[in-house]
Structure 1
Amino acid sequence: MKIWSPTELSSQETDFNYSDTREQMDGSVGPMRVLVTGGSGLVGRAIERVVKKEGEEREGEEWIFLSSKEANLMSAEETRAAFEKHRPTHVIHLAAMVGGLFRNMRQNLDFWRNNVFINDNVLQAAHEFGVVKVVSCLSTCIFPDKTTYPIDETMIHNGPPHESNFGYAFAKRMIDVQNRAYFQQYGLRYTAVIPTNVFGPHDNFNIEDGHVLPGLIHKTYLAKSETHVTFWEDLEPHLSSVHMVNLFHVFVCIIEEGKPLQVWGSGRALRQFIYSLDLARLFLWVLREYDEVEPIILSVGEEDELTVKDAVDAVVEAFGFEGEVIYDTSKSDGQIKKTANNAKLRKYLPDFKFTPFKQAVKETCDWFAANYDTARK
């Protein structure tokens, strides 16, 4: 099977007219019914907030946020039933089996099979039900492990991905293959975005199986909480005998005895982080304006790449954690870097403003603390 290069793809002759077919499939150039798969996840909830609460919903748009409780997209039958029920004209495809580094290392086969099932079912149902446009969500882990930096959209298929999560990476990479095939065979402009490390409210904050930043947020929250518990439990016996002038000294001593924050890896790995609300706003632009089959990287610039240690420092600052931070170098760093070039995005949106990293981390930490009992963890 040939995989079209971006140049070949754009030059392919076809009788397909995108604008005419959009009008034909919609019945008019009017209402747009958008189905968001994975609608209850990190990015889905961010899109819902931007659309519903920040006033980005346009006249004539109807938004449907589909959760896994409503349809198991690994089932072709349930996927078709969901499309039959909602009859979308457009789809934002976010649904996926996801997990952090160590879960991926343990379950590469599961990540491959489940994501291939989900992606094939969604894209084929979209085709069968006449969906005009699908925007799927990929990941920078799809890029080759051995490559030159920065990576860009033309380099996806230049070699195998990092071995730690090859199952997930290849499954996500195949969406690009399917999009190109749907265009070649049917003229459909299904496309995909490639965000870097996404974080924000409604993330999965599971320490064992979550991604790096939400896992750090949960660990730091617990370390901070354990320190406070230690403080009050150890302080109580002193209350009758310690004068107020010595109270601060007791506090400092007990803080120093609190449990340290343990971080897996050396902290040297480099990552580009994108706030989920920024990504949501960019998704709306891609859905409404971006007209290429070739995917587009959605990321902050190379100059905003951070080490994991930088991320740890931001989380520690956001929570006001004053305990010790220990890096467990016996744990893997994963891919040491995957620097992405956002030049294509900047060509289209040169003035887009990303939320400053520390501000986004602070907002996420505040949300997690306020919603600890119900947050995914």
Structure 2
Amino acid sequence: MNKTDKILVCGATGMVGSSIIRTLNQKGYNNILGPSRSELNLTNQNEVINYFTSNKPSVVIDAAAKVGGIQANNKYRADFIHTNLQIQNNLYEASFKSGCETFLFLGSSCIYPKKCPQPIKEEYLLTGPLEPTNEPYAIAKIAGLKTAESYRKQYGLNYFSVMPTNLYGVNDNFHPENSHVIPGIIQRMQSAIDNNDKTFELWGSGKVKREFLYVDDLAKACIFLLESKKEKPDWINVGTGEDIEILDVCKIIAQLMGFNGEIVTNTDYPDGTPRKLLDTGIINGLGWYPDTSLKEGLEKTIKFYRTDNQIRKI
């Protein structure tokens, strides 16, 4: 990828897509397409094909997806698999038909088996059963990853995937029930502060461990890989290489937000996968490392939430 390429960022208004566009602009890329959902319905095959025919992007970054936390994944199972398959299949077909030679697909670390050896290497894909609560979403993402791999093998195109760990940051979804763990805690903790609550309920045992990556670090990793001339595998893990118990994350958020009450766990809520730490040896070997510490990223995310208190719904 170079500065003269016409780059299409799908999912441009979401947390990941908007971060990628910000980062591209900061690095001097100015030929960027970032249609909103009202401008381009990615679930409509004809709209997508017509858009590609008219605009002819040379690079596609697929950051578009229907996403949510453990509650949303478990509740809207049909929506998650159907919508995500629609979006990615439409984009792959339109990219191929329009002659686009570079396609970056964003997957998720939830594609890996529930009981993977830790840290999780790329080669562990499809070696065991998935986590049941997000299986439909994971299957859709695995299909997207394998589609990129298949186009690459059959046609020699520069189609590949990145598997980010759990993301958070500016422009996240702070819905109280359907969000991921960090924005969900931030939203509900702010409500507890506003209501002068003496306790805060953390969903699940709090004992499971998760790795968290600030979204701008993922954006930098994507651009780094697109710019790199080195040979890359079909899919690449992107993470920090460190994980932390959910209860400890909650305590850090409480300290940063000024909540002084008691944190209590509610084990009626599911925990999901016991541990999910990615092995980032491949991308580190190519020369990329994250810049943002967890505390720094949480500070930025809390500041964004309190300044721009918008709730994007699933």
Partner of 1:324: 262
Partner of 2:247: 309
Deviation of 1:41 after TM superposition, in Å, equals 0.3
The answer to whether structure 1 residue 368 and structure 2 residue 305 are counterparts is yes
If the length of structure 2 is used for normalisation, what is the TM-score? 0.95
Deviation of 1:115 after TM superposition, in Å, equals 0.8
**Unaligned residue ranges in structure 1 (runs of 5+):** 1-21, 23-28, 228-257
Map Cα deviations across residues 284-304 of structure 1 (whole Å, 9 max, x no partner).
111221643511101001xx2
Q: Which residue of 22, 35, 44 maps to 1:49? A: 22
Paired positions, count: 312
Partner of 1:263: 202
Q: Percent identity?
A: 30
The answer to whether structure 1 residue 120 and structure 2 residue 89 are counterparts is yes
Deviation of 1:308 after TM superposition, in Å, equals 0.4
Alpha-carbon distance in 1 for matches of 2:167, 2:131: 19
Q: Which residue of 94, 111, 123 maps to 2:63? A: 94
Deviation of 1:172 after TM superposition, in Å, equals 0.1
Alpha-carbon distance in 1 for matches of 2:231, 2:312: 35
Partner of 1:154: 123
The answer to whether structure 1 residue 210 and structure 2 residue 179 are counterparts is yes
Contact 1:104-1:164 at 8 Å conserved across structures: yes
Contact 2:3-2:28 at 8 Å conserved across structures: no
Deviation of 1:353 after TM superposition, in Å, equals 4.1
Alpha-carbon distance in 2 for matches of 1:136, 1:184: 15
Q: Which residue of 58, 74, 78 maps to 1:109? A: 78
Deviation of 1:201 after TM superposition, in Å, equals 0.8
The answer to whether structure 1 residue 35 and structure 2 residue 4 are counterparts is no
Partner of 1:359: 296
Secondary structure of the equivalent of 1:263?
A: strand
Greater mean deviation of Cα atoms: 288-297 or 129-138 = 288-297
Deviation of 1:31 after TM superposition, in Å, equals 2.1
Identify if the C-alpha distance between structure 1 residues 97 and 63 changes in structure 2 by more than 3 Å, giving closer, same or farther: same
Contact 1:265-1:333 at 8 Å conserved across structures: yes
Alpha-carbon distance in 2 for matches of 1:34, 1:149: 35
The answer to whether structure 1 residue 279 and structure 2 residue 252 are counterparts is no
Structure label with greater radius of gyration: 1
**Unaligned residue ranges in structure 2 (runs of 5+):** none
Deviation of 1:63 after TM superposition, in Å, equals 1.1
If the length of structure 1 is used for normalisation, what is the TM-score? 0.79
Contact 1:226-1:259 at 8 Å conserved across structures: no
Q: Aligned partner of 2:245: which letter?
A: T
